[in-house]
Every structure is written in C-alpha cells, then in structure tokens.
Amino acid sequence: MNHEIVQLLKEGVAIRGIARFLNISVTTVIARIKSIAKNLTKENQRNHKGVYEIDELWTYVGKKTNDVWISYAINRLTKEVVSFVVGPRTKARLSCATSATLALKPAKVCTDGLHTYRTLVPPGIHHIGLPHTRHIERFNLTLRTHLKRLTRKTICFSKNLVMLESCLKIYFWS
C-alpha cells in the first residue's frame, strides 16, 4: 500500500483522492506519508566535480500570507535533487542547500540573480543567469504540475510544514 501511496502522490493525486482510491481513511494516508518520508534518505551523491543548479520556489502553508520557500539544488546531468530546505527565504536557509552542494566539490554552481548566492558560492565556480539555470527552472514547472500543493491557483495546499516537507522528500528521493 505504501508503494501505491507514493505513486499516487507523485502523480498529483490529493490526500483525499488517495484515501478514496485506496479505500482507507485520510488520517491513515497522512500517517503513512509521514512514515514513508521519515524513513527516506537521499543516496550519497557520487558525481563529484559536476554542474549543479540551485533555485528557490515560492509556495505557502495554511494561507497565502504564510510564505514558504523551497530552496533546492539539482545535478544538471542526472536531474537528481542533491538537497532541499523548506522555510523562509533567508541567507541561513539558502546556505543549507548551498553548503550541501558545495560539499560535493562542484565544477560549476549555477544560480539566478539573487544577491544572497553571491556571498554563499565561491566566485570561481559561480555562474549567474537564466542560460545557466534552464534545467532547474524547467524542474520548477514539473514540480508545480506534479504536486498540486505547489500549483499557484489551486484549492489544494499544505496545511502544515511537516506534510509539505514529507511530500517533497517522497517526490525527490523515492
């Protein structure tokens, strides 16, 4: 059943839809999603000296006035998510995603024009601008398409941060 929950979640089916489809309660679906996410870990990245792209994606939790940012990094070659962090758009939060990427000793780190990245990424490997972030920008669109809770104009949204992080963890690393 966990496998089916993961597959349905990754296809954009809402929590209540998963519960109806599997004929189980909504609370069971939520508990299983949290349990699956808790047991997931990202695999050790083997592609050192690669090219990585870092970006952030806006969403909200509970109501639209509660801004939340998903900052994450992908390997340009494999499209794997190297790291992600959910929370406010602060230097400390961006530093978490950036430091995990820099630990891989990348040949190149590509970001958009956000000034905070200039202080977090060493200038020799930092490349800025849209031509360098095409892959992650496309991945943002895919995320918004597959996870309804990230769609801009929708009635589906995360009611708490733990569920948002759990759903992202399942989507990225399962």
Q: What's the pLDDT tens digit per position in 49-62? A: 899 999 999 988 88
58 vs 12: CA distance, rounded Å: 18
Under the banding of pLDDT at 50, 70 and 90, the label for residue 156 is low
Q: What's the pLDDT tens digit per position in 84-106? A: 999 999 999 999 989 999 999 99
Residue 114 buriedness (CB in 10 A; 0-12 / 13-18 / 19+): middle
Q: Please state the length of the chain.
A: 174
Question: Backbone phi, then psi, for 26, in 5-degree steps?
Answer: -60, -40
With 0.75 as the threshold, say if the pTM is over it: yes
Contact 98, 83 (CB under 8 A): no
Tokens of 151: 């769609």
Task: Collect all residues with Cβ–Cβ distance below 8 Å to 153 and sequence separation of at least 6.
Answer: none
Under the banding of pLDDT at 50, 70 and 90, the label for residue 136 is very high
Task: State how far the alpha carbon of 32 is from the alpha carbons of 36, 99, 163, 166, 167, in Å.
Answer: 6, 31, 11, 10, 11
**Is the confidence at residue 47, as pLDDT, over 80?**
no
Give Dmax (Cα) for the chain.
55
Give the chain's mean pLDDT: 90
Under the banding of pLDDT at 50, 70 and 90, the label for residue 110 is very high
Contact 143, 78 (CB under 8 A): no
Q: What is the mean pLDDT of residues 128-144?
A: 92
Tell me what pLDDT residue 46 has: 63
47 vs 3: CA distance, rounded Å: 28
